[in-house]
Amino acid sequence: MAVKGIPGHRERQALATKAQVAAAARRLFAEQGYVATTIAAISAAAEIPAQTIYSAFGNKAAILGEISKTWMRDAETRRLSDDALTADDPIDRLRQTAHWHRRQFEAGYDVIVIYQEAARADPAMAEEMRRVWAAREHELTKYLAAFEGELKVTAERALDILLACTVPEAYRTLVIERGWSLDEYEVWLGDALIAQLL
Amino acid sequence: MAVKGIPGHRERQALATKAQVAAAARRLFAEQGYVATTIAAISAAAEIPAQTIYSAFGNKAAILGEISKTWMRDAETRRLSDDALTADDPIDRLRQTAHWHRRQFEAGYDVIVIYQEAARADPAMAEEMRRVWAAREHELTKYLAAFEGELKVTAERALDILLACTVPEAYRTLVIERGWSLDEYEVWLGDALIAQLL
């Protein structure tokens, strides 16, 4: 018998199935593309019947949503952005901002590429991506408000610079193409933000 | 009768036809995508018979090559990079580097987007784009050699940083999405390069 608040056997099994499907789909989306990957292919790779996948998710976009949730959990986005927000020293806050973004790329650069491809092919996914970016901008705006009086530029301009320095393509250039370590990327981003904002 | 070195009437007409086709194709590639645009559609938009386009270019990739040549001429890439190379003062050299990149984006950000889309769809275009990027890296490496002893990082690392700061997506974020003026972008890029390299 399931105890309240603790998932019972069937719930745990359902969660494990979803995780298994999401992991297989993530590999296929990255290798073959989001558009080219069918539910049938995910079913074969995950060794889960297609009907179970349809029941659990409904469609491919929902599987990508699950992949994204896993990514945010692995990247500890919430904890790291809270840490950055509550540090006393503005330099320390920007170093932690660099760390939080490094963790996002480290844990899910592949997911960003999948989203970018999906958004190009599917207007609904493009809309979803705009929603996610708008939410991110909203969070970053709140975050920058904690720097009041400590920035050498307006909060609006600081947001612009933060967005420009954290474009995935700069990460791709330095870490994936030019072979920088993740630590080197994090130091570079921290230095760039400190030089431009404080 | 044509005078040697000066294009005669038929040559001038042929060049004008090519320019007309390239201009129409550039609009269509940007609006509908490189992959989705047919030679027939370019023929209709340019008001030039399809057979003439095939004779002049052979294929779509050659039309994109012509668009690219026009872009480099409009952006004055050669003159501006030479100017940057020969300035005495390293700060001045980096300001001119920022100006040269601003002019490239100003004159042809649309062409970059067309190339990116074409490279995703067509392995031959992806190869062509790798070739262009490798040539650019080679030029930038030669250019950075002129800074010997003036940089606070190695020439190799300076190249990495220059490539990361000039990713088209940072330009897109600041100028297209966040509404910065081209002058503001140029000052930002110059400041960022000076802070990170000198």
Tokens representing B168?
């088209």
Tokens representing A28?
């296929």
A contacts of B180 (beta carbons < 8 Å): 160
pLDDT given at position A152: 93
B contacts of A164 (beta carbons < 8 Å): 170, 173-174, 188
Pick the residue of A161, A162, A181 with the most B CBs within 10 A to test the interface with B by mutation.
A161
A 33-92 near B (Cβ less than 8 A): none
CB contact under 8 A, B191 and A192: no
B174/A contact by beta carbon, under 8 A: yes
Name the DSSP letter for residue B2.
Answer: P
Sequence-ordered alpha helix ranges (H) in A9-165:
9-32, 39-46, 50-57, 60-75, 77-86, 90-121, 123-145, 155-165
Residue A1 amino acid letter? M
pLDDT given at position B4: 64
User: Residues in chain A with pLDDT < 50?
Assistant: 1
B160/A contact by beta carbon, under 8 A: yes
pLDDT given at position B174: 98
Tokens representing A140?
């970053």
- B118 vs B129: CA distance, rounded Å: 9
CB contact under 8 A, B192 and A191: no
Pick the residue of A163, A187, A194 with the most B CBs within 10 A to test the interface with B by mutation.
A163
User: Residues in chain B with pLDDT < 70?
Assistant: 1-5
A164/B contact by beta carbon, under 8 A: yes
B contacts of A178 (beta carbons < 8 Å): 160, 163-164
CB contact under 8 A, A168 and B169: yes
The closest of A154, A133, A197 to B180, measured between CA atoms, is A154
Which residue's entry shows tokens 């007409």? B13
A160/B contact by beta carbon, under 8 A: yes
CB contact under 8 A, B167 and A163: no
CB contact under 8 A, A161 and B191: no
Q: Cα dist. B36→A9, A19, A59, B32 in Å? A: 51, 37, 27, 6
The closest of B33, B10, B9, B8 to B110, measured between CA atoms, is B33
Q: Counting beta carbons within 10 angstroms of the beta carbon of residue A127, is it exposed (0 to 12), middle (13 to 18) or buried (19 or more)? A: exposed
User: Are the C-beta atoms of A163 and A143 separated by less than 8 Å?
Assistant: no
Domains of chain A: 9-66 (1.10.10.60), 76-197 (1.10.357)
- A111 vs A104: CA distance, rounded Å: 10
pLDDT given at position B35: 93
At what angle are helices A60-75 and A77-86 packed, to 10 degrees? 40
Tokens representing B167?
């990713």
Cα B175 off chain centre by: 17
Report the length, in residues, of chain A: 198
A contacts of B169 (beta carbons < 8 Å): 167-170
pLDDT given at position A3: 57
Residue A198 amino acid letter? L
A contacts of B187 (beta carbons < 8 Å): none
B176/A contact by beta carbon, under 8 A: no
Return the SS3 of B158: helix
A150 phi/psi in degrees, rounded to 5? -105, -10
- A171 vs A165: CA distance, rounded Å: 9
- B110 vs B31: CA distance, rounded Å: 10
Tokens representing A142?
């709140």
End-to-end C-alpha distance for chain A, whole angstroms: 57
Pick the residue of B32, B160, B193, B196 with the most A CBs within 10 A to test the interface with A by mutation.
B160
